[in-house]
Structure 1
Amino acid sequence: MPLEIRELVIKTTVNKGNNKAGGSSETGKAKEFNINEIVEKVFEILKEKSER
């Protein structure tokens, strides 16, 4: 019997302390934008797969 996922919830925790290994100088808003963009792409891919 196939299983259909109607809602996907993704939670993450971001450490706001100094991360010496990262080396990224992005601001919090830029990181948030990038995460939102990635999540939107994931949803698009899932939608395309469900339409097949």
Structure 2
Amino acid sequence: MPIEIKELHIRVTVSGKPPEAHGATGSAAKQAAAAGAAVGKDELLAECVEQVFELLQARKER
């Protein structure tokens, strides 16, 4: 008999420093990491918002 998983909850905790950019030194590496982190955060936030809206739509359709 097959098992159907309707919901899956995953919780992740991330800690630590981001890796420094290769070839960059000192403040240049920090600026590159900060710029990359800002872009990464924006993309992550957009993806999270999209998934939340999809979940809300799926619950509405039930």
- TM above 0.5, yes or no, is yes
Deviations 1:4-48 (A, max 9, x none): 233364x8x867324xxxxxxx71101000001100000000000
- Bigger Rg, structure 1 or 2: 2
Give % identity: 7
TM-score, scaled relative to structure 2: 0.50
Aligned partner of 2:41 among 36, 39, 43: 36
For 2:41 and 2:53, locate their aligned partners in 1 and report how far apart those are by CA, in whole Å: 18
- The runs of 5 or more residues in structure 1 that have no matched partner are 19-25
1:16 counterpart residue number = 21
Alpha-carbon RMSD across the aligned residues, in angstroms, is: 2.5
Structure 2 portions without partners, runs of 5+: 24-30, 58-62
